């Protein structure tokens, strides 16, 4: 894990009207995550504040160390669920951490076949979320494993085989795209 | 023991943070199709079904809402059993048998709270993870016991019928055996609670048409509030549907359900209008350099 990140981080919009978020708070969280995950690429975070939903997406405009990573988040993904429209650093850490890991995966050559995030199937999304959440959890980001198990079960079925596949993804650290979507 | 508890005095531990409808409606973000530029619909429908990308999180949030709703329903039924003297139903009295029904309902709701806590745990939700909207208990704060029946047993428990039907269907489609089973059993109780309210409201106001009219008007006010700005309704724009069949079993007439459906649509339209106004206001603000 890299101790220092040189990532240049930008946030759009710079001022929020629908939610009580500060762009600097998002920069702070992403700076911390980039450092933790060893990402030195420029990172652009785009928040859609007009919806309370929580869809996330990651893009990389290349595969080099200076390719820009774009993290898209609907405002609900960064929200304090106890105080609507207020920012939660914990929620942002979990959401943007998963998304940054996805973007980092996309820099690998064995993810060249992965569809764009908006074109992923629900099952592919669930598998990738599990893989990212498991890695984040081991890095000390506060996550509820049961939440991700429930999400996975909703896509792959409520069965022992499904649960075993979830555990494999959750505990994995170095999967290719093909291995990731292998399923139960 | 103290009678007539205000909503601010509800006992909760530090895990719970409360909110109300006024606060919720200040949130100008939307998932509905206000206009082409701001449409945020989930594919073709907002209905809470497993094919939504945020299905499991949506279900977890709704399950938490059910759990706190059950706590408030327990508190409401318990208060009604305790707050009024036994009598013939006139004035501030309620028939003793109505007290017994409220006590039975409180027992049911306590069981529902336990079930909902276990379901929340199963779905990966922590207690108090989401804000608790106290609007349900507010419907149980009337000084007239008949208005409480209208507000709690018919409006609140009617909403519970809609929500449980939605969640039962979600569990069925997702293949979640516990969710479907538990929602089905709780749904059966809710139908009974609404039926108790319908029956008692008719019985106690049998010779008092003005009081009945006032109670039904109060129910309409509460029903519109419980639409949560159109979150419940018969079109696919609403996450929660209106469970006509189970409402019928609970004693709602077709006309009554039609009226609720119409009010849900009104609430949705008003919400859209409010959001349009907020968007226009936001657009008019200068863009930072």
The model's pLDDT over A3-22, given as tens digits with 9 standing for 90+, comes to 445 679 999 999 999 999 99
Q: Is residue B31 included in any domain, yes or no?
A: no
pLDDT of amino acid B200: 93
- Token readout for B19 is 């909110």
Model ipTM value: 0.92
Tell me the CA distances in angstroms from A30 to A100, B71, B209, one per residue in order.
8, 38, 64
* Residue of B22, B31, B124 to mutate, testing the A interface (most A Cβ within 10 Å of its Cβ): B124
pLDDT of amino acid B39: 46
**Contact between chains at B288 and A15 (C-beta distance less than 8 A):** yes
Q: Which contacts qualify for A151-155: CB closer than 8 Å, 24 or more apart?
A: A151/A126, A151/B56, A151/B57, A151/B124, A152/A126, A152/A127, A153/B174, A153/B176, A154/A126, A154/B50, A154/B55, A154/B56, A154/B59, A154/B174, A154/B176, A155/A122, A155/A123, A155/A125, A155/A126, A155/A127
Q: Is residue B250 included in any domain, yes or no?
A: yes
Chain B residues touching A158 at Cβ < 8 A: 174-177
- Token readout for B259 is 């009226």
Q: How many CA atoms lie within 13 A of A57 on its CB side?
A: 17
**Contact between chains at A54 and B54 (C-beta distance less than 8 A):** yes
Q: Is residue B86 included in any domain, yes or no?
A: yes
Residue in B29, B54, B288 closest to A50 by CB: B29
Tell me the CA distances in angstroms from A113 to A64, A69, A176, one per residue in order.
17, 17, 10
pLDDT in tens, A77-129: 999 999 999 999 999 999 999 999 999 999 999 999 999 999 999 999 999 99
Q: Is residue B164 included in any domain, yes or no?
A: yes
Number of structural domains in chain B:
1
Q: Is residue B230 included in any domain, yes or no?
A: yes
Rounded to 5°, the CA angle B51-B52-B58 comes to: 125
pLDDT of amino acid B229: 84
**Contact between chains at B177 and A158 (C-beta distance less than 8 A):** yes
What CATH number does residue B187 fall under? Answer: 1.10.620.20
Mean pLDDT by 10 residues, chain B (289 residues): 83 94 84 57 70 93 95 93 93 94 96 97 97 91 90 89 95 96 96 92 94 92 85 88 91 91 90 85 67
Q: Is residue B263 included in any domain, yes or no?
A: yes
Name the closest residue on chain B to residue A123, using Cα atoms. Answer: B53
User: Number of CB pairs < 8 Å for A and B?
Assistant: 93
**Contact between chains at B130 and A145 (C-beta distance less than 8 A):** no
Tell me the CA distances in angstroms from A90 to A10, A14, B54, one per residue in order.
19, 21, 19
Q: d(Cα B16, Cα B18) in Å, to the nearest integer?
A: 6
Name the closest residue on chain B to residue A122, using Cα atoms. Answer: B53
Shortest CA gap A65–chain B (Å): 30
pLDDT of amino acid A184: 85
Q: Tell me what the pLDDT averaged over chain A comes to.
A: 94
Q: What is the pTM of this model?
A: 0.90
Domain of residue B156 covers 12-21+45-271
Rounded to 5°, the CA angle A81-A85-A88 comes to: 55
């Amino acid at each position: 894990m890299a101790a220092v990140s040189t990532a240049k981080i930008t946030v759009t919009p710079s001022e929020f009207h629908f939610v009580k978020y500060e762009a600097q708070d998002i920069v702070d969280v992403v700076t911390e995550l980039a450092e933790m995950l060893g990402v030195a690429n420029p990172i652009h975070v785009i928040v859609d504040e007009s919806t309370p939903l929580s869809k996330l997406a990651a893009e990389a405009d290349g595969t080099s160390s200076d390719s820009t990573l774009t993290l898209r988040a609907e405002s609900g993904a960064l929200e304090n669920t106890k105080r609507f429209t207020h920012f939660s650093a914990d929620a942002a850490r979990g959401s943007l951490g998963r998304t940054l890991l996805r973007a980092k995966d996309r820099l690998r050559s064995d993810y060249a076949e992965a569809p764009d995030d908006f074109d992923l199937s629900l099952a592919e999304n669930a598998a990738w979320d599990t893989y990212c959440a498991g890695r984040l959890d081991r890095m000390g980001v506060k996550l509820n494993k049961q939440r991700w198990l429930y999400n996975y079960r909703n896509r792959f079925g409520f069965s022992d085989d499904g649960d075993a596949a979830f555990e494999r993804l959750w505990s994995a650290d170095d999967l290719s795209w093909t291995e990731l979507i292998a399923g139960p | 023991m103290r009678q007539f508890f205000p909503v601010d005095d509800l006992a909760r531990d530090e895990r719970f943070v409360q909110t109300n409808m006024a606060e919720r409606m200040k949130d100008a973000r939307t998932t509905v199709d206000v206009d082409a530029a701001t449409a945020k619909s989930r594919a073709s429908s907002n209905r809470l079904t497993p094919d939504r990308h945020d299905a499991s999180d949506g279900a977890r949030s709704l399950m938490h809402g059910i759990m706190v709703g059950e706590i408030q329903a327990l508190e409401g039924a318990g208060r009604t059993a305790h707050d009024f003297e036994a009598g013939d139903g006139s004035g501030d009295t309620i028939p003793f048998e109505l007290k017994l029904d409220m006590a039975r309902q409180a027992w049911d709701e306590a069981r529902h709270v336990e079930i909902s806590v276990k379901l929340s745990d199963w779905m990966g939700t922590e207690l108090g993870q989401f804000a608790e909207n106290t609007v349900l208990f507010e419907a149980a704060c009337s000084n007239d016991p008949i208005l409480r029946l209208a507000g709690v047993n018919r409006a609140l428990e009617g909403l519970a019928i809609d929500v449980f039907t939605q969640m039962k269907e979600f569990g069925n489609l997702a293949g979640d055996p516990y969710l479907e089973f538990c929602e089905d059993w709780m749904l059966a109780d809710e139908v009974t609670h609404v039926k108790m309210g319908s029956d008692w409201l008719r019985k106690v106001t049998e010779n008092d048409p003005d009081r009945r009219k006032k109670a039904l008007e109060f129910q309409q006010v509460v029903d519109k509030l419980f639409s949560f700005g159109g979150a419940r309704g018969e079109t696919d724009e609403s996450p929660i549907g209106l469970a006509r069949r189970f409402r019928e079993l609970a004693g709602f007439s077709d006309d009554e359900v039609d009226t609720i459906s119409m009010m849900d649509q009104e609430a949705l339209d008003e919400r859209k209008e409010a959001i349009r106004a907020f968007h226009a206001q936001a657009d008019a603000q200068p863009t930072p350099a």
